[in-house]
Structure 1
């Protein structure tokens, strides 16, 4: 289940909420009980591919400028 980060405008605390994606826009009260919260943008780092497979190999030659076709 995805986790979403929120910040409370009243007390300034940040917190996470796990919920289904369909409920991502629903309001989330802070742990201190305040209702004035805002959902934060999260950054996600993704590397490789799923299921532990290696990424496909890069093509050799480097394209036109690396392949010797430019004059």
Structure 2
């Protein structure tokens, strides 16, 4: 079940809730009981590397479809 992070506008507390995706936009009360909360944007990536992809250097030896000739 996905976890969603919220922040209370009244007390400033940040908290997480596990709930089905169908309820991701439902209102949430903070642990102190305040109802003025906002869902925070999460930067969690699923199934990938945390490092940014690197651009590959072009192959040496010429252009064309094979990067070195011999395509005939």
> TM > 0.5 between the two?
yes
Q: Which residue of 1 aligns with 2:59?
A: 66
Aligned runs of 1:32-47 on 2, under 5 Å? Answer: 32-45=32-45, 46-47=47-48
TM-score by length of 1: 0.69
| Superposition RMSD in Å | 2.2
TM-score by length of 2: 0.68
Q: Which residue of 2 aligns with 1:54?
A: none
Select the structure of larger CA radius of gyration.
Answer: 2
Structure 2: tracts of 5 or more residues without a match: 50-55, 65-72
Runs of 4+ in 1 over 4 A off after TM superposition: none
Higher helix share goes to which structure? 1
User: Which digits, 9 at most, give the CA deviation of each residue in 1:44-67, with x for residues without a partner?
Assistant: 13426xxxxxxxxxxxxx69x425
Aligned runs of 1:1-71 on 2, under 5 Å? Answer: 1-45=1-45, 46-47=47-48, 65-66=58-59, 68-69=62-63
Structure 1: tracts of 5 or more residues without a match: 49-61
